[in-house]
Amino acid sequence: MTETDEAVGRSQALVTVRSVSSRTRRILARGDLAGAAATLTYFAAIAVVPWAVLAIWSTTWVFGVGGAEQRWSQLRALIPPEMGARPVFDELVSAATHLDVLGAIVLLFPASFYGEGLRRACLPFCPDRDRFTGWRARAAILVLLPAVPAVGFTYLAMGTVMTQWTGDNGGGGTADLVARIVVGYMTVWVLLSVVLSWVYSRVTPGAPSNVSAVVGGVGTASFVAGFVQGFSLFLSLDIDVGIPYAGLRAIGGVVAVGLWLYVLHVLVVVGWAFVQAVEEERHAHVG
């Protein structure tokens, strides 16, 4: 390839990037991004914990209740103790590992609300008419259930590796912190890439091609994974989140988590708009 061809290729790539960026902004201008993220955050408040419980519970199939509880409890070292999040994690692990089959089946109902939230949050930006919004989205998100054990076992395995770089286990230096961030980032990125690719392909409106959904899923997952690492660092701040609420730390903690979820879901909705923009760009080139 000559230098001229390389210059032309770079120029075309730049034009494509600008076009996709412009299309993304135009799509987001159709609705209220803040309102969409708030809608999705409400549904996430219903559904996130059930998905986490199911992932942890799935590991009891191999390790048993006691073995799974012991392994997950070791991961509390990854949670900074400053804001009191460790007791919440301990309670989550205990509840999840002692869950029975009937309880797991019941959890599917609140877990399915995440699908509805994802679809309803993106609908204001989509010109297509939609039918059976709630039920079709709930059914589509539950297709991810077979992937839940893989997520649970993968995060447990990688989390166990990361615990050796924590202060509780003799680590805690700058190199250990960097190692935890890098491994944690890559783990969350890979797992969320699969989940978001399916979400953008089948759960949210717009019906993009698999190629566009994967491009958007992988790209959005990279930002969300970095955001998750930022939340972990936030938990290490020695501040009293209950100060704005007359010292009620439980209320302050819930609000703080809600705000982080809100910003995270802004990224998810923007990622959906990016997928639609990529799809429009592909059709424009084909046409």
How do residues 98-144 score in pLDDT, each as one tens digit?
Answer: 999 999 999 999 999 999 999 999 999 988 788 888 999 999 999 99
Quote the pLDDT of residue 257.
93
Residue 216's CB is within 10 A of a number of other CB atoms, namely: 27
User: Is residue 65 within 8 Å of 98, Cβ to Cβ?
Assistant: yes
134-187 pLDDT, tens per residue?
A: 999 999 999 999 999 999 999 999 999 999 999 888 877 889 999 999 999 999
pTM, two decimals, is 0.93
Residue 262 has pLDDT above 80, yes or no: yes
User: Is residue 214 within 8 Å of 282, Cβ to Cβ?
Assistant: no
CA–CA separation, 74 and 67 (whole Å)? 11
